[in-house]
Amino acid sequence: MSTTNVVDLLPAYRRLLRAGLRAVQYSKPARYLLVDKVRAGFRHRDGVFDAERVRRTTWFLNAAAQSRGIEHRIVKNLLFVAWMRQRRVRHHWTMVQQSAKRVKDRMVADEEKKARMADKPWMKLKEDMRPDIISGHEYEHFDRTVTMLNDTMGMCLR
Q: Are 80 and 36 in contact (CB under 8 A)?
A: no
The model's pLDDT over 48-91, given as tens digits with 9 standing for 90+, comes to 888 899 999 999 999 999 999 999 999 999 999 999 888 876 65
Residue of 147, 151, 144 whose CA lies nearest to 53 = 151
pLDDT for residue 131 is more than 60: no
Mean pLDDT for 115-135 is: 57
Residue spans of the domains in the chain: they are: 3-85
pLDDT for residue 132 is more than 70: no
Q: Looking at residue 15, what is its pLDDT?
A: 95
pLDDT for residue 1 is more than 60: no
The model's pLDDT over 79-122, given as tens digits with 9 standing for 90+, comes to 999 998 888 766 555 666 666 677 777 777 777 766 666 666 55
Q: Looking at residue 110, what is its pLDDT?
A: 72
The model's pLDDT over 7-33, given as tens digits with 9 standing for 90+, comes to 888 999 999 999 999 999 999 989 999
Q: Looking at residue 78, what is its pLDDT?
A: 94
Q: Are 85 and 139 in contact (CB under 8 A)?
A: yes
Between 39 and 124, the higher pLDDT residue: 39
Q: Looking at residue 150, what is its pLDDT?
A: 93
Q: Where are the alpha helices (DSSP H) in 91-154?
A: 92-116, 140-153
Percent with pLDDT over 90 in the chain: 46
Q: Looking at residue 125, what is its pLDDT?
A: 46
pLDDT for residue 136 is more than 50: yes
Q: Are 146 and 157 in contact (CB under 8 A)?
A: yes
